[in-house]
Amino acid sequence: MSITIQEVARRAGVSTATVSRVLNQSDKVLPETRERVLSVVNQLRYTPNTNSRSLRTRESRIILVILPNLSNPFYSEILAGMDACTRDSGYRLLVTAHGASAGRERELLGLLHQRQADGVVLMSPTLPAAELSAINAQFPVVQCCEYIEDIGVSYVSVDNYTAFYEATAYLIRAGHRQIAMSSSANNYPSTRLREQGFKKAHADAGLPLDPQRIRQGSYSFESGYENMQVFLKHKQRPSAVMGISDVVAAGCISAIMNAGLSVPGDLSVMGFDNLDMAKMIQPTLSTVMQPRRRLGRAAVELVLERLQGCQEARELLLPHELIIRHSTR
Amino acid sequence: MSITIQEVARRAGVSTATVSRVLNQSDKVLPETRERVLSVVNQLRYTPNTNSRSLRTRESRIILVILPNLSNPFYSEILAGMDACTRDSGYRLLVTAHGASAGRERELLGLLHQRQADGVVLMSPTLPAAELSAINAQFPVVQCCEYIEDIGVSYVSVDNYTAFYEATAYLIRAGHRQIAMSSSANNYPSTRLREQGFKKAHADAGLPLDPQRIRQGSYSFESGYENMQVFLKHKQRPSAVMGISDVVAAGCISAIMNAGLSVPGDLSVMGFDNLDMAKMIQPTLSTVMQPRRRLGRAAVELVLERLQGCQEARELLLPHELIIRHSTR
DNA sequence: TGGTCGAGTGTAATGGTTTTCACCTCTTGA
DNA sequence: TCAAGAGGTGAAAACCATTACACTCGACCA
């Protein structure tokens, strides 16, 4: 049916070993033999069978990507970066969601042992640290965006602490004294870091911070909406609010407008992520840009690097950027 | 290193053939032998090596998904549907973007011949019809959302014509007489169908339609913005505008607001897709819901169905739904 | 009693590649 | 002139599963 290396060898009048050598540009082959083989390869449009190759070499040239869910647009741009990075590397991406189930995540990581994947990018690990670093000892593991620190597992992310600090400081410099934050109840390091940045900016400015000013919830639009409704009822209404994500910030804006107030006239709103959406809403959303494409690209690069043999764990924080649009003043 | 079928066979005191038979629940095996084998399998946590299996059986249990790009949130929910559908089928998703290059798409489809994938879902084919149906003769091909009709290749989509017709008719019934459409210059069937639905709704209502009222562009926010700016300059300003997508509609809304007009006070705006974003903008966007999760699920189901042996091409149009929010009146 | 049949199992070929090892031919240096 | 070494190549094992075919054994029938 399909063309095999035998066929190529036969037509080129060499052994399969030689064809293999030519294709893997490894060993010494006489230039003229190489030419002969290559011309047959091109003529026959031969491509090696990946299964037999993987069977032999114990590598699949596939990188596994595990994220909590696929429906969140935050991830799409990151995936695009990974995909682009993968393109000419000979590797491919196997993308799946774990749906917040550690069991499912464990099952997926089983693909590594089955040699169905050579390495993995985790977008938000649900597994305990010990398990993670055990796997990392055997296979390249890279954490992207969300990560557990100091367990010897590489990660690439942004500096959530500083980013949130800067965004908060910006609002303070702009004259805001009562700032609220619609946060999340999850245990992600990023969430904690952002809250810490928020607090530190207050502390450094000598501003008191009423604990009621931080409300937890989720990363959803609805959560932003509901938290904002509560903030609006506080006796001392905040003059600005930070969303832990753009989507949450959009929820805040909706709540504000539905209460008959205006943004940024009555309240300023700041988001986080710089989704495409941020420039589409009215008013356009001030936010902190995460370089999502580059995050994806870097994550895959780190996996590739380890596949190349590099052993050391890398900890990359890519530059974020405060983007001021029209939802703040 | 890893456990092989030989090892299982040895410990269970049977031949590898028997182990294989147990695992593939095919042939007759004495219940007690089966038990013995299964217990060893569980004890050793044995999972068959996929590469050698694929090498033998010439199937990879992988479904290829090719979309134009990964960064568009329109696709993310569809992917989620595919992923969910795939979950317990034993199949996995290999997702890649073709970046509007037919060459790249062709290259990716090569994975089928290399037995790296058993079937494929195409989210917007760039290949000529003939090539597509040639591939479809050998492997399961399913078109999703965008499709070429009548070439014997299955597809799943929504009824773009009727959907756009209904949305337009809704605006007409609401009293609008001057309706514009921010369309796209591409050649996608969906685009043509939506334009036709738009026109037919006018015709059926006996409304004249100035050709200037349809402007082409792209599927981007900017395109909607720019088209809208032109519409606003027309001597007879439209009282409503339909975007070919939610993102385009959002661009229209921005242009309208930046011109100092209001939505829906001065103009009504209708989108298409019902992205999450639609409920996040102000005013919330009236739109046509595409059941994206179900689209993804159905596409994968069709591939699976053909893999099961079903030969006939299916043409599925899933129900859409007009969703009225606050951008229209 | 001898032959047929079927159920259950094992042997070994098979899939397509990579890679070890052995081989041959030349060159080089002593 | 011969030994050693190096460059180029081929034969065959190995990777790990599936499966066609053969075999054994007991049951059953004529």
In this prediction, residue A220 carries a pLDDT of 95
Least CB-CB distance to A80: which of B55, B97, B277? B97
User: Among residues B33, B41, B7, B5, which one has the least CA distance to residue B20?
Assistant: B5
In this prediction, residue B87 carries a pLDDT of 87
Strand C near-CB residues (< 7 Å), A 29-88: 46, 48-49, 52-53, 55-57
Is B96 close to A92, i.e. CB distance below 8 A?
Answer: yes
Confidence of residue B137 (pLDDT cuts 50, 70, 90): very high
Total residues belonging to chain A: 329
Tell me the pairing of strands A119-122 and B119-122.
Answer: unpaired
By the 10 Å C-beta count (0-12 exposed, 13-18 middle, 19+ buried), B274 is classed as buried
Question: How long is the CA A173 to C1' D12 vector, in angstroms?
Answer: 76
Helix ranges (H only) for chain B are 5-12, 16-23, 31-44, 50-57, 73-86, 102-113, 129-138, 160-173, 189-204, 221-233, 246-258, 292-307
* CA distance linking residue B149 with residue A5, whole number of Å: 39
Q: Is the CB of A200 under 7 A from strand C?
A: no
CA B314 to chain A, closest CA, distance in angstroms equals: 26
pLDDT tens-digit profile of B33-51? 999 999 999 999 999 999 9
pLDDT tens-digit profile of B275-329? 999 999 999 999 999 999 999 999 999 999 999 888 899 999 999 999 999 999 9
User: Among residues A327, A69, A221, which one has the least CA distance to residue B279?
Assistant: A221
Q: What is the pLDDT along chain A (329 residues), one digit of tens a residue?
A: 588 999 999 999 999 999 999 998 766 888 899 999 999 999 999 999 999 999 999 999 999 999 998 988 899 999 999 999 998 888 999 999 988 788 888 888 888 988 889 999 999 888 999 999 999 999 999 999 999 999 999 999 999 999 999 999 999 999 999 999 999 998 888 999 999 999 999 999 999 999 999 999 999 999 999 999 999 999 999 999 999 999 999 999 999 999 999 999 999 999 999 999 999 999 999 999 999 999 999 999 999 999 988 889 999 999 999 999 999 99
In this prediction, residue A293 carries a pLDDT of 96
The whole-model pTM stands at 0.90
Tell me the pairing of strands A179-182 and A214-215.
Answer: parallel
A309: left (phi over 0), alpha (psi -120 to 50) or beta: left
**Residue B1 in this model has a pLDDT that exceeds 80:** no
In this prediction, residue B110 carries a pLDDT of 86
What rounded mean pLDDT belongs to chain B? 94
Count of Cβ atoms closer than 10 Å to residue B32 Cβ? 8
Q: How far is CA A197 from CA A79, A147, B214, in A?
A: 28, 17, 49
pLDDT tens-digit profile of B81-131? 999 999 888 899 999 998 878 888 888 888 898 888 999 999 988 899 999
Q: How far is CA A84 from CA A92, A105, A176, B158, B185, in A?
A: 10, 25, 42, 30, 26
Question: How long is the CA B46 to C1' D19 vector, in angstroms?
Answer: 21
